[in-house]
Amino acid sequence: MKTYGVIMAGGGGTRFWPLSTKAEPKQFLNLSGKESLINETIDRQEGFIRKEDIFIVTNEMQVSLMLARTAGRIGRDHVLAEPAARNTAACIGYAAMEILRKYEDGVMCIFAADHHIRDKAAYTRTMQEAVRTVQKTDALVTIGILPTFPSTGYGYMRHAPKKGQLYHEVEEFVEKPDEETARAYLAAGRYAWNSGMFVWKASTILDYYRKLLPDVYECLARIGDAMGTPEEQEVLHRVYPTIPKISVDYGIMERARGVLMLEGDFGWSDVGSWDTLDSVRKKDARGNIASGDTLLMDTDDCVIYAGEKLIAAVGMKDTVVVEGRNAILVCPVREAQRVKQVVETLEKEGRFDRL
């Protein structure tokens, strides 16, 4: 049975503004100093998925940029273009339908385009295990990450750990907790981070859609029926924007029986914002993460990303300084999440020259 990869890469990704912009979303950024997140994601699967079996789902506007930036890794027919953003259930369902109708049923591994994984060998072993299980069963496997700190930035899955078993049943999906709750989760030892990585058969997930998300399924079926016909694009553009907006977590994972959690412990992070950049990039001896042409004097625990200019930081502490193509951000590290407010303000003011 074939193993496919499906990378969800449609995000506008402005959490790394002003480095990430509408024209250059997060997945294209080279935050690690090695490769872009999208190319790292593609290359990371080489141990268990053939490159020609990887699909990328993105939006129409990003297709040509995606092909350019992935530099021959992915063929045009494996870049699926959503006519509209309809949340993850639509996105995954579309990919599953494409696989079933144009290729053959197989194991689908779902990834986000903007995660970082430190230990690739451990990652490959975990994913190989998940693929083996899904090949033999109709399980919906979700990868739960062993938490290493009380993160308030991730969703959690409560599970019942069973000694000697690889897989645990998920009892509950819980939203991002506050700090105190996160500490309690970490101490309890039965909460894992919800990585958003899933493994299942294309046919299995569509069966679940039919049962649990019939409205979504009906749309996908109409799109699937047109696949390979001259009407494919017309139907896709007419129907896709009407697919109910729902996430696969909420629509399927929280409601399906048979969800198995496989524990992952491979240095996963979702590279959420400037304040969590240390997950992808080593700090220097003074706690700084510096990229590009920088000159640091008496500067500690800062994140400094220079673009075409030199950034000279003198006597700075705990501050993010980022030079993008159209804008410069300066804020305390602990307030880096507020970049969202900046982006919202600029959007409200129609300042697209700065986005």
Which residue bears the tokens 């729902």? 246
For the bound state, the minimum distance from the C-beta of residue 178 to a second copy, rounded and expressed in Å, comes to 20
> Please, what is the minimum distance in Å from the beta carbon of residue 307 to a second copy?
9
Instruction: Choose which of 160, 331, 348, 352 interacts with a second copy (CB under 8 A).
Output: 331
Smallest gap from Cβ 354 to a second copy, in A, equals: 5
326 part of the interface to a second copy, by CB under 8 A: yes
H/E stretch holding 296: strand 294-297
Q: What is the C-alpha separation between 62 and 89, in angstroms, rounded?
A: 20
Decide: is 323 part of the binding site for a second copy (CB under 8 A).
Answer: yes
Pick from 180, 326, 192: nearest CA to 261: 192
Judged by CB under 8 A, the stretch of 114-122, 150-158, 187-195, 336-344 that binds a second copy is: 336-344
Touching a second copy, residues 15-34 (CB under 8 A) = 18
* 80 token code pair: 């699926």
Given 293, 303, 347, 348, the residue binding a second copy (CB under 8 A): 293
327 binds a second copy (CB under 8 A): yes
The full length of the chain comes to 355
Q: State which residue, 187 or 297, has the beta carbon closest to a second copy.
A: 297
Strand (E) or helix (H) holding 169: strand 167-174
- Other beta carbons within 10 Å of 146: 13
CA pair distance 96, 159, nearest whole angstrom:
27
Amino acid letter for position 269: S
**Only segment of 44-52, 171-179, 207-215, 340-348 that touches a second copy (CB under 8 A):** 340-348
Q: Which residues have a Cβ under 8 Å from the Cβ of 247 and sit 6 or more positions away?
A: 87, 88, 89
Q: Does 321 bind a second copy (CB under 8 A)?
A: yes
Query: Site for a second copy (CB under 8 A): which residue of 176, 242, 309, 352?
Result: 309
Q: Which of 62, 51, 44 is nearest to 197 (CA)?
A: 44
Binding site for a second copy (CB under 8 A): 18, 293, 295, 297, 306, 309-316, 319, 321, 323-324, 326-332, 335, 338-339, 341-342, 345-346, 351, 354
